[in-house]
Amino acid sequence: MASLYADENFPLPIVELLRSFGHDVLTAREAGQSGLRIPDEEVLTFAISNQRAVLTRNWTDFIRLHRLQPEHTGIIICKEDLDTERQATRINEAISNEGDLRGKLIRVIRPPR
């Protein structure tokens, strides 16, 4: 299972579901990193130093960071989906199919209506 770092804007219900699937998810709050307006570059650095892939909804900045620093431990970017169970399942499937997340940018989008 994957070791993930959920940034401060990532929904806790999805984090909890990912944990129930067996993933090791550390939240920004648990790491003492929430509410501090930490730049995205530092979020990625923190994740790398802790051997975790970043879990975020911040597409624009993390796509840019992936291009600037492709030697990371993984970035999973998700579009907002109000169906938390569906989103957690889609994230689980996406990362389970990848194996090693190093250097990968994984996009998890909502299914079409």
Domain limits, the chain: 3-108
Q: Which amino acid is at 85?
A: E
Residue 7 CA to chain centroid, in angstroms?
7
pLDDT beyond 70 at 113: no
Contact at 8 Å (CB) between 75 and 53?
yes
List CB contacts of 55: < 8 A, sequence separation 6 or more: 4, 5, 6, 7, 10, 15, 18, 25, 76, 78, 91
Contact at 8 Å (CB) between 76 and 98?
no
| 0.85 exceeded by pTM | yes
Mean pLDDT of 3-20: 97
Q: Residue 38 class from Cβ within 10 Å (0-12 exposed, 13-18 middle, 19+ buried)? A: middle
Q: What percent of the chain has pLDDT over 90?
A: 86
Q: Assign a CATH topology to domain 3-108.
A: Rossmann fold (3.40.50)
pLDDT tens-digit profile of 57-67? Answer: 999 999 999 99
List the beta bridge partners of residue 99. none
